[in-house]
Each structure stands twice: as structure tokens, then as C-alpha cells.
Amino acid sequence: MSQMPGSPTVPLPKKPGNLGVSNPGPAPASPKLVGLALLIALIAVVLVNLYIIGIKKAAQEGEFRFFRLVVAKDVGQTLELEDVRLVGVPESFRDAFRDVVESNSQGQPLRLGDPFTRRAEVGEPLTTRMFDDLTGDEARRLITQGYRGVSLPVVSKTLPDPLKSEMRVDILAPVRAPGGRQEILPVMENVRVVSVGSRTIVDEKSGGRASSNFETLTVEVRPDEAVLFEAITQEVQKTGVYRVLLRSPDDQRQAYITEGGLNPEILERFGLSAASRQ
């Protein structure tokens, strides 16, 4: 712009980049930050390599797949497809899951729609023992040599935990006392549970409807005790079914039956003398 002669000179503002102040260059990177970045990169590389090695190893070993419960199931409830999720472990772990339920050609569990015969918890592998009261060769393999398996009708609703195989229990029975009143007496203490199932009694007088449902408990006892148990059970079922108490697996004490075996008072009450053991 031209100026009029004699007018004062007005200085033009300088551009921001021309203020006479020199711009500093980029700050040098901190050696600590550089070292940290290199360390993170190294860790990432190691983790990726470990993951690749794991994938290759799993592929070499093969994978064993089984069903795991995602919901708890009570006795009598049936298995639905949404109750389970298919999971896999390396083939080397197969022996730890011998009795799991296998899948059909559609990838569904073979026991779909079958009722549970014992309570099953969330996260448990789906096994055949959840559905069957063990019979035949499978049951015999679980009984200690020299013992016998006896199946007893029991009530376990008052127990803090569901009955499972390998638990230790005390067995109680309802009996008629002199005068007609009912009392509960111990039958045996510290008994090993072989398996758990369920049973339904059908009353023909009620048109074939189920009159009672209860659990069955298979326990192992000596041969002479097994014979006596059959006679005791016939008497017990006239007034009810057996009750059980859970024991600590480390507790070997006999609180009521100090000599072990069957309670002599029960034998006397039902007219089963000690000579019956022979």
C-alpha cells in the first residue's frame, strides 16, 4: 500500500514465525522410555511365540472333547441341550475323563432327555454316573474285594451336600419302640458309598400312579452284614426308609457302635440274633 508523502511510517506486524525467537528442535527421547518400549516389544514377541508353540503342540497331541454342565441339575430333572457346553482338553488328559457322556453324530450328548439320578453341580463334567444307578460289571468294579454291595432306600433332604459316590456316611433307621412310638436308631457307622440312584414305588391301588420317590444308596458291607441288611430293610420299609448322616473322610471314630459292624440293638429289635451272622 502506498503512503501519502509526509505521513508517519506505521510498522507492519511481524508474522508469528518472525518474532525474532528461534524455535527449539524436537526434544531428545528419554533413554528410559526407549528401553521400556523395547522391553514391551520383546515381551510381545515372546508371548506370540509361546502361543504358536502351544497351538502346534495341541495340534500334535490331538484334542479330547467332553460336555461340561453350565447349570445345576436336581434328581429327576432331564438333560437339555442348553444345560451343557462342549469343551476340549489335550488328548493326554483322556484317562481323567473315562466315564464322560459321549456325543452322537450331531454332536449332542447321548443322554439328552434322560433324568438325573443324583444332583449335579455347575462346572462338573457330564458323566454316565449322573444318570445310572450302577449295575453289572461297572458296579462290581467299584466294590472292594471281599465285600458286597447293598442298595438301600434313603432320605437325604436334610443333608448339607448331595450324596455322591466315595462319601462316608452313618446309616440310621426308623423303628417302632415298645408302645408304638417311632424312634431313630443307628444301623451302621462309617460306611462307604459306592453309588447313588433313585427309585419310584408305584401303588396299584392308586391307578398306577407313583406313591413315593426316594434316593437309593449302594453301600459296601461284609457278606454276613449284607444278608442281615436284607432282613433289616424289610422291617424298616414297614415304617419308612433309611436316613444318612455325612461324615468327614478323616473321621474313623465309632460314636455309637463301638465294636463296628451292625448295631446289636437293631438286630435284637428285629429278632436277628448274632448267630444269624454265621
Q: How confident is the model at residue 180 (pLDDT cuts 50, 70, 90)?
A: confident
Cell, residue 146: 471281599
In a domain, 22, yes or no: no
Question: Would you state the torsion angle of the CA atoms of residues 262, 265, 267, 272, taken in this order, to the nearest 10 degrees?
Answer: 140
**pLDDT given for residue 275 in this prediction:** 46
For the entire predicted model, the pTM comes to: 0.49
Rounded Cα–Cα distance for residues 172 and 242 (Å)? 6
Select from 130, 146, 179 the last residue of a domain.
130
Domain boundary among 93, 109, 130: 130
135 vs 241, more confident? 241
Contact indicator for 62, 91 with CB cutoff of 8 Å: yes
Verify that 98 and 197 share a domain, yes or no: no
H helix or E strand, kind and range, residue 266: helix 264-269
Residues 172, 240 within the same domain = yes
Pairing verdict, β 63-69 and 84-90: antiparallel
pLDDT for 179: 78
Domain membership of residue 221 as a residue range: 136-277
Q: Are 252 and 190 in contact (CB under 8 A)?
A: yes
The answer to whether residue 22 scores a pLDDT higher than 80 is no
- Residue 84 covered by a domain: yes
Q: Are 108 and 81 in contact (CB under 8 A)?
A: yes
Q: Which of 14-23, 125-134, 218-227, 237-246 has the lowest mean pLDDT?
A: 14-23
Q: Are residues 142 and 111 in the same domain?
A: no
Assigned domain for 258 exists: yes
- Summarised one tens digit per residue, pLDDT across range 97-156 is 777 888 877 888 878 888 787 788 899 999 887 876 555 555 566 788 888 888 888 887
Q: Does residue 122 sit in the same domain as residue 190?
A: no
65: confidence class by pLDDT, cuts 50, 70, 90: confident
Q: Name residue, grid cell 431313630.
A: 184
The reply to whether 52 falls in a domain is: no
- Flag whether 228 is in a domain: yes
Kindly state the average pLDDT of the residues 160-177: 83
Tell me what pLDDT residue 162 has: 72
Say yes or no: 203 and 227 in one domain: yes
Quick one: 238 and 224 in the same domain?
A: yes
Predicted local distance difference test score (pLDDT) of residue 278: 45
d(CA 231, CA 148): 15
Dihedral of the CA atoms 100, 105, 108, 110 (nearest 10)? -50
Domain shared by 172 and 230, yes or no: yes
pLDDT value at residue 81: 92
Least confident interval from 70-79, 133-142, 244-253: 133-142
Residue 151 lies in a domain: yes
Place of cell 442348553: 82
Q: Report yes or no on 27 lying in a domain.
A: no
Q: Check pLDDT > 90 for residue 47.
A: no
Q: Give yes or no: residues 244 and 261 share one domain.
A: yes
**What percent of the chain is predicted at pLDDT more than 90?**
14
Same domain flag for 144 and 231: yes
Whether residue 243 is found in the same domain as residue 193: yes
Do 182 and 224 lie in one domain? The reply is yes
Q: Of 81, 101, 130, which residue is a domain's last?
A: 130
Task: Report the range of poorest mean pLDDT among 84-93, 94-103, 209-218.
Answer: 209-218
**Overall domain count for the chain:** 2
In a domain, 191, yes or no: yes
- 210 pLDDT exceeds 50? no
Whether residue 147 is found in the same domain as residue 241? yes
Domain with 87 in it: what CATH number?
A: 3.90.1210
